Structure 1
Amino acid sequence: MIAMRDDYRGESVKAVIVPRESHRGELRPEHVVAWARDHMAAYKVPRCVELADALPRSASGKVLWRVLQAEHDARPARSP
């Protein structure tokens, strides 16, 4: 989970997910949000879900969330 710009809140939660091979093509972002609404506190539910092929990892296998955050911040902002 990383932060994304939100005009109303300032920041919102964005989930970047790598689906299992058996679920590729079946998993939809709205499925993830629905699951999160049932299992997580309201402020933790992602407002945006991105499905990825892989996550950047360090040599020890930890997810490099700062790299994900930098990639997201480098993208041009969407106009409403």
Structure 2
Amino acid sequence: ENIHPVEIEDVLARHDAVQDVAVIGEPDEKWGERVVAFVVAAPGLTAQTLDQHCRASGDLANFKRPRRFVFVAEIPKTASGKILRRLLRDGRYTEVRP
């Protein structure tokens, strides 16, 4: 089944400590792809908290929940605000500790 990043981004963006978010698919040997969320967050937010938020929302099936959360300084975007997912897939981001 297809997974639409915007659906997952909308759920994550509802968390008060999430300032910005982007979701991509990452190659996975077992499943073909797995969901990865890149998050600009307020200090103290953890991957565990975000996973619990996704579970509690009731809006995401288990297979749509991110399997990995990467905390970043910023989400790369075009001048018009479109997320540059290609840069995230290519590893062109700066990981930070929230």
Provide TM-score, normalisation by structure 2: 0.63
Match of 1:18 among 32, 40, 43: 40
1:1-80 equivalent positions in 2, closer than 5 A: 1-19=23-41, 23-24=42-43, 26-39=44-57, 40-71=60-91
Superposition RMSD on alpha carbons, in Å?
A: 1.4
* Deviation for aligned residue 1:8: 1.5
Deviations 1:32-77 (A, max 9, x none): 11111222221210000001010111011221112111227xxxxx
- The structure whose Rg is larger is 1
Hey, which of these two has a bigger chunk of strand by percent?
A: 2
Residue 78 of structure 1 corresponds to which residue in structure 2? none
Q: Which amino acid aligns with 2:49?
A: H
Unaligned stretches of 5+ residues in structure 1: 73-80
Percent identity, please.
Answer: 31
Equivalent-residue separation in structure 1 for 2:71 and 2:40 (angstroms): 6
Q: Which of structure 1's runs of 4+ aligned residues deviate more than 2 A?
A: none
Equivalent residue pairs, number: 68
RCO greater where, 1 or 2, for CA within 8 Å and sep 6 or more?
1
